[in-house]
Structure 1
Amino acid sequence: MQIQQLFSKRVGVIATMHKKEKVIAPLLQQELDIKTIVPPNFNTDVFGTFTREIKRPGNQITAAKLKAEKALKMTGESLAIASEGSFVPHPLVPYIYSNREIVILLDKQNEIEIIGEEFSIDTNFNHQIVENLPEAYDFAKKVGFPEHGLVVSWSDAAKNSMEIIKGITTAAKLQETIQTALNNSVDGKVSLETDMRALYNPTRMKNIAKATLDLLNKIKSLCPQCSAPGFAITEKIAGLPCEMCSIPTSLTLSVIYHCQKCGFKQEKLFPNGREFADPAQCMYCNP
């Protein structure tokens, strides 16, 4: 099974309304010879919003698959690409946020589903409650405004509702919005946060590109048994022995590659190129 035979000259539908095709399309076209399109009037907000008006249906992978399926239904094509991002506190490093981006390829013609991923601490994801313009300006400067957009929200006293203004990318618009919010807020406080939609966040867009590269690497990884693309790591096994005492550590000893097409599995020892762990990372030698 040759990669070019699978994808060359086919139409790939990129399921986005936030300009993600700017980083995804060139990579797919260059590496797989796919002709990409974006469905017109495609509303991805129905699959969840970062500003929490609409809850995401399930996890990241579920949401991305729903986007891809919807794009295929709208266009009648058989190949779709969709992405989904999340921003959460880093699991190991306190007080730092992380960005996980996934990019999924759904190929109904060949019954293939492959997911690329990027996990990064390179993100400006942040939020703050402000009570005046100087505080708003300080926050904006800290998160890379105006190259990165902002979102302002407040509880409006007169309307008895939560007001949200997104996509703020100029100093004039920021000043106008903050002033309006302060004048109408129930408690004189305004919520200011980074706009995490891809078209307003170049840092996130870079992570989407990296996730797309990971997707392409997995596509090019062919199963040794059936030659299907997507022969990827599905499990990591800890236990790399300490170089000094030989006791197993928490570092990766081996990885398991799995083919979703035929089910073939293969274990690869020492995926990081080291047969022993540094004693500094051993709980016995360095408790």
Structure 2
Amino acid sequence: MNDQQLFNDRLAVLATMHQKEKVIAPLLEQELGIKVIVPQDFNTDIFGTFTREVKRPGTQIAAAKFKAEKALELTRENLAIASEGSFTPHPLVPYIYCNREIVVLLDKINNLEIIGEEISTDTNFNHQIITNLDEAYIFAKKVGFPEHGLVVWFENLENRCNEIIKGITKEIDLITSVNFALHNSPNSQVNIETDMRAMYNPTRMKNIAKATHNLLNKISSCCPKCNIPGFEITEIIQGLPCEFCQIPTTLPLTAIYQCKKCGFNQEKLFPNGMEFANPAQCMYCNP
């Protein structure tokens, strides 16, 4: 059994309200032979917002799965896709932010859960406190406005809440929003940040597409024992020997693949196609 046999001519619901179908649907429809639909009036903001009005329930993967399950519940279908993004300091370079995108596929008929992922430093994620319109213009230019949308917000002490203006993509709206916020902010300070919702952020859309490609790669990787898609790497073992001194390095030596369906696992040597590490990456040859 292959992915075409499992998914061909099936209907899949995509749990989004931010136009992610523009990049996800064409890829899945072409490669899997499915038809992707978006549920009407589906509110994904209940699972968390980038502007912090609603806290995300649990982990990033849990939030994506919540979306997919809710879409299945509403439509009574059996195949769902959902994605979730996050922006955090890079695990190896903490002073650089990275964008982690995941795309989850849930198949209730075949009891499958497959997750695609992309971690990228290609992001315009940014924020700043400004005190005048000129500073807003400088920030906007730096983050790719107007192709990338902006958010302006300030603390309303009288109502004890944040006043938030989202989806700013026109110069006149930027001027109006910043002037309104400056006029109403008690300390004449306003927060301006990138709108990280997918439909207002082309850079993020590219990373969602890459995560979808990763999902498709995992779907095309079938278990050698039961032939079910999703045979993927669950562990990387370091120790690739240095080409010069043969001492193990921190580079991958072995990848462990495992099937979520039947539990079969398999070791594959040299997952990156290299049998030796460059001496420049050896802590002894290049301390």
Structure 1: give runs of 5+ residues left out of the alignment.
none
CA contact (8 A) 2:87 2:97 kept: yes
CA contact (8 A) 1:157 1:184 kept: no
Partner of 2:45: 45
SS at match of 1:155: strand
1:116-164 alpha-carbon deviations (Å, 9 max, x no partner): 0001011000000000000000000000000000000001255443100
Partner of 2:56: 56
| In structure 1, C-alpha distance between the alignment counterparts of 2:233 and 2:248, rounded to whole Å | 21
- How far the C-alpha of 1:243 sits from its partner, in A, is 1.1
TM-score, length basis structure 1: 0.98
SS at match of 2:152: strand
Q: Tell whether 2:241 aligns with 1:236.
A: no
| In structure 1, C-alpha distance between the alignment counterparts of 2:144 and 2:208, rounded to whole Å | 18
- How far the C-alpha of 1:281 sits from its partner, in A, is 1.0
Structure 2: give runs of 5+ residues left out of the alignment.
none
Q: What is the RMSD computed on CA atoms of the aligned residues?
A: 0.9
Percent of residue pairs bearing the same amino acid type: 71
CA contact (8 A) 2:152 2:177 kept: yes
SS at match of 1:22: helix
Partner of 1:66: 66
Partner of 2:147: 147
Partner of 1:135: 135
CA contact (8 A) 1:198 1:204 kept: yes
| In structure 2, C-alpha distance between the alignment counterparts of 1:158 and 1:75, rounded to whole Å | 42
Letter in 2 for 1:100: R
| In structure 1, C-alpha distance between the alignment counterparts of 2:124 and 2:71, rounded to whole Å | 30
Letter in 2 for 1:135: E
Partner of 2:121: 121
| In structure 1, C-alpha distance between the alignment counterparts of 2:153 and 2:181, rounded to whole Å | 7
CA contact (8 A) 1:254 1:269 kept: yes
TM-score, length basis structure 2: 0.98
Partner of 1:97: 97
Q: Tell whether 2:261 aligns with 1:245.
A: no
| In structure 2, C-alpha distance between the alignment counterparts of 1:80 and 1:25, rounded to whole Å | 12
Counting matched residue pairs gives 287
